[in-house]
Amino acid sequence: MDLSDKVVLVTGGTGSFGRVFVRMVLDKGNPKKVIVFSRDEAKQSEMMEEYQGEGRLRFFLGDVRDQGRLRRGLAGVDYVVHAAALKQVPLGEYNPIEVIRTNIMGAANVIDAAIDRGVEKVVALSSDKAANPINLYGATKLCADKLFVAANSYSGGHRTRFSVVRYGNVVGSRGSVIPLFRRVRKTGVVPITDPRMTRFWITLEQGVALVMTAFASMQGGEVFVPKIPSMNLRDLAEVVAPGCRHEYVGIRSGEKLHEVMIPADEARNTVEVDDMYVILPAFKSWDGADAWSRYPRVPEGFCYSSDTNPVRLSQAELARVVELC
């Protein structure tokens, strides 16, 4: 994770991912400067207290909806991690235009500002919900993914390159089901949507490591997908709330029984690389040698889904993960 002499800006830098990203980059990346760009002044104030005396850290209040503010914040920046998003599924269904303004128009603003300011590389965070989306949040993230891939053509003769990382549910992030299970276990009853439900599972630290891998290997237009384990929701409930009765409440609107990170239709453009898959751009009109041609394509009909994923967390493995939250 070598960022020597690089200035790095992270949008949504006070969120779950942003806070871990900042900590890991400052500890291990040797950056020239890290800029936290977010609209939450209270969380920025908390981080200032936490990192008091850290001369490489800067805080910049702003919203990705405001392109002028982004342009100001990106002055002199080398790398950008775009983590800002509205991601609560039920709230997104009731407030669709707000999600569109942040997740889609905000992504477009990041792209324009990065090109105008001569940023070298931009990596955007996506979601498994962007693959075959069935809710508005997933649809906006899919749109954002398409914008970031196409931005490599849109940048024209500029040097800026854009790529995307896509991963599943994050252990310990805001909105994680673990805090819910912990709150309700004292009642003796744990609500579970469906006993068959599975999800991909990744830690925040693994998510940061994937972003750094993307920075190191991207040519522009890739969607990087890590090989990560799946877990069964019922197993997780038994680990977090042992002995509690399970109450099956049904799948909520906008939810899937199983999550997909690479649909079969995207598999035809996907190569397998060690501990990850790389979805290559279906349309490429920008310069650059194809460093991915030496890697094997995934088989015809391949689908990377949480229910068919061969790597599954046992209850014992889940218990070790939960201890860290």
Residue 40 near residue 14 (C-beta atoms within 8 A): yes
Give the separation between CA 151 and CA 180, rounded to whole angstroms.
Answer: 39
Q: Half-sphere exposure of 141 toward its Cβ, with a 13 Å CA cutoff?
A: 31
Contacts of 310 by beta carbon, 8 Å cutoff, 6+ apart: none
C-alpha distances (whole Å) from 238 to each of 8, 186, 319 are: 41, 13, 10
Residue 202 near residue 128 (C-beta atoms within 8 A): no
- Show the tokens assigned to 324: 């860290």
Phi, psi (degrees; rounded to nearest 5) at 312: -120, 140
Strand 304-305 relative to strand 260-262, pairing: antiparallel
Give the separation between CA 302 and CA 263, rounded to whole angstroms.
Answer: 8
Contacts of 27 by beta carbon, 8 Å cutoff, 6+ apart: none
Among all chains, which residue has been given the structure tokens 């042992």? 242
Residue 272 near residue 296 (C-beta atoms within 8 A): yes
Question: Is position 129 annotated as part of the catalytic site?
Answer: yes
* Catalytic residue (choose from 121, 129, 141, 256): 129
Give the separation between CA 17 and CA 10, rounded to whole angstroms.
Answer: 10
Q: How many CB atoms lie within 10 A of CB 241?
A: 21
From the list 212, 173, 295, 194, the residue with the least C-alpha distance to 24 is 212
Task: List, by residue number, the catalytic residues.
Answer: 129
